A = this chain, B = another copy of it.
Amino acid sequence: MAASSIRARVRAEMLDEIKVVARRHLASDGANLSLRAVARDMGMVSSAIYRYFPSRDDLLTALIIDAYDALGAVVEAADAGADRLDLRGRWHAACRAARDWALAHPAEYALLYGSPVPGYAAPDDTVGPAQRPPATLIGILHDGMAAGRLAAPDPGELPEPLRTDLAEVADSLAPGLPAALLARGMAGWTQLFGLISFELFGRINRALPHRDAYFDHQTALMADLIGLPR
């Protein structure tokens, strides 16, 4: 058994090291990751990599899941670090954590939220980790409703086909959350994604030297829209 586990442990270390090297390549060369280059960096022959990842897409999938989990973890930790009843503080902490992670890991962020890699379909393993960041944001609204610190928007602002759609999503994601509030929470999540993507990919913000202040202001506007108390 010990002999068996030594081989398994070496294998696990290899898997990790391949991912570490691949992440380094991702950071320098972008999304078109070269298995041969990774192998070269590890002193292996290219075909040996296929013992560990049956295809390039499988390596990408592993990196994507790791990245989703890393992002989800920092967002959840930031949210957990704020006073439970300070909804606005939690909102800003979660948003800032997502942005900080993205700025620190731009290539991995691009892998998650950039244009999909052509010919690559993300397997179902990714949907769970992918939902951690938005689920955290929605959780803030859910807690706010439960604590009576957050008012539900007028349900009449939702036209009918949409109201039932959103109500079903709310039931499965955060039971009891009013559909109209869920819609505003999703608006906040969409905005967060857009802000980070523009800052990372775009060029508009070149005219705005104080990016932190811009980001905080924009997320504050969304907090206003949601109705988080000041």
Contacts and interface: CB of A to CB of B under 8 A. Distances in A.
Interface of A: 29-32, 110-111, 113-119, 122, 127, 130, 134, 157-159, 161-162, 165-166, 168-169, 183-184, 186-187, 190-191, 193-195, 197-198, 201, 203-204, 207-210, 213-214, 217-218, 221-222, 224-225
A118 B114 CA distance: 12
B195 A190 contact: yes
A190 B197 CA distance: 9
Contacts of A157: 217
For this chain, the copies found in one complex come to 2
Contacts of A190: 191, 194-195, 198, 218
Given A115-B115, A193-B197, 16 more contacts: A31-B115, A113-B115, A114-B115, A114-B116, A157-B217, A159-B213, A161-B209, A161-B210, A162-B208, A183-B218, A183-B221, A187-B218, A190-B194, A190-B195, A191-B194, A194-B197
B159 A217 contact: yes
Given A183-B221, A187-B221, A203-B127, A208 B165 contact: yes
B127 A210 contact: no
A162 B213 contact: yes
A191 B190 CA distance: 6
B118 A30 contact: yes
Contacts of A224: 225
Nearest to A153: B221
A212 to B, nearest CB: 9
A29 B208 contact: no
A117 to B, nearest CB: 8
A115 B119 contact: no
The 6 closest A-B pairs by CB, nearest first: A30-B118, A114-B115, A194-B194, A110-B115, A190-B194, A162-B213
Nearest to A118: B30
Given A169-B207, A203-B127, A217 B116 contact: no
16 contacts: A29-B119, A30-B116, A32-B32, A110-B115, A113-B201, A114-B114, A114-B115, A115-B115, A116-B201, A130-B203, A159-B213, A168-B207, A169-B208, A187-B221, A191-B191, A197-B197
Nearest to A109: B115
